[in-house]
Amino acid sequence: MATLTDQVTEIIRSYGGARMGITTRETLVGGPPSADLAFILPEARSAVTFALPLHKEFIRPFLAKEDRLSHERDNLQVNILATGLAAHIAKHLEQKGFPSQGVVSNESYRDEKPWGRLGMNPDLSHRYLAVRSGVGWFGFSGNVITPEYGAAVILGTCVTSAELKPTDPLPAEDNYCNRCKLCLAACCSGMMDSEEEARVTLGGKEFTYAKRKKYLRCEFVCGGITGLHPSKKWSTWSPGRFFIPEDDGAFREAMVKGIKAYERRPRMDGGFPHILMRSNLYLTCGNCQLLCWPDLEDRKENFRILTSTGAVVQNPDGSLQRVSWEEAEAYVRGLDEERRALYM
């Protein structure tokens, strides 16, 4: 007769889950607040975490600034599938007599001091549960990387009062991350520290990744406010060209100025509401995740595509256009003062 663990495994397989793992309160002991299952469900005993792959055929056109919408739609749909799958598993277990709670895949933040939800501290960290349960490893960036799909996955979790059998972390020696640091090179904001590590202990096992600087850096670039690399030779999909401060302390002022400009820009195709923004958010970055494929030569090619395909400018009708970095510079400099202020 199939166990509860077997049933959950089959559900995830049936809905396209690439990998799954199970943590318990014991295997997460000693972790940070976002590894506390009781925050989600007071009577929680274990959690099921899974990875759903993004469609790779949309990633390189996105990195090349040829097609933004296909990846954005795929990303949103896989996130919703992950959220729905977590809820489906929870309902299955609940009907078996075990109170359970699905955790949304993204955009659910704790309202904690000093930054509130702007601090972007998650209700529950899928990443911590994923590395502890063997879904994947930490890459240098802190993204979860999987043997088959690299970091190009969306994570989901169901927390349950059922006593499920925990799974072990993947062997550290099998981790394909060789500290190539192309994720860091692809990050316009300088979010990761090139040398200092963050360490987290979960159930007596230690995991490391690059220490992250203030999250406002990621919000500034991944939020689409700006996207021009400091070299000025390439950009993300954002047409913004605001200066990216080196000092974390200067980011609050830069964010205030940038958000005001962002909200006045012409509306683009696509986009979606986000809890931390008053206007739509558009997927313009995510480069540290998207370029990290298991094979090093693939990662190098992804980085080459990203950094050799110029920069993006926005036309008056809101559409985006990829041009050479020289053309982008000339275009923005040629705008009248009021329009130029929307971008730099």
pLDDT string in tens for the chain (344-residue length): 678 999 999 999 998 878 999 999 999 999 999 999 999 999 999 999 999 999 999 999 999 999 999 999 999 999 999 999 999 999 999 999 999 999 999 877 777 777 666 666 788 999 999 999 999 999 999 999 999 999 999 999 999 999 999 999 999 999 999 999 999 999 999 889 999 999 999 999 999 999 988 877 888 898 899 999 999 999 999 999 999 888 877 777 888 899 899 999 999 999 888 777 788 889 999 999 999 999 999 999 999 999 999 999 999 999 999 999 999 999 999 999 999 999 99
Q: Quick check: helix, strand or coil at residue 33?
A: helix
Conformational region of residue 166, where left means phi above 0, alpha means psi within -120 to 50, and beta covers everything else:
beta
Residue 239: per-residue pLDDT: 97
What pLDDT is attached to residue 115?
67
Ranges of H-type helices in the chain: 4-14, 59-63, 69-95, 126-133, 182-185, 216-222, 251-262, 287-290, 296-307, 325-333, 337-340
CB 156 within 8 A of CB 126: yes
Coil/strand/helix, residue 198: strand
The residues, ordered by sequence, that sit 6+ positions from 344 with a Cβ below 8 Å of its Cβ are 240, 241, 242, 243, 332
State the Cα–Cα distance between residues 119 and 170, nearest whole angstrom.
Answer: 30
b/e for 239-273, b at 16 or more Cβ within 10 A? Answer: bbbbebbeeeeebeebbeebbebbeebeebebbee
Residue 70 has what pLDDT? 98
pLDDT for 148: 96
Sign of the four-CA dihedral 203, 136, 183, 68: negative
Q: What is the pTM of this model?
A: 0.94
Backbone angles phi, psi at 18, to 5 degrees: -80, -40
State the residue for tokens 């939020």.
223
pLDDT of residue 213: 85
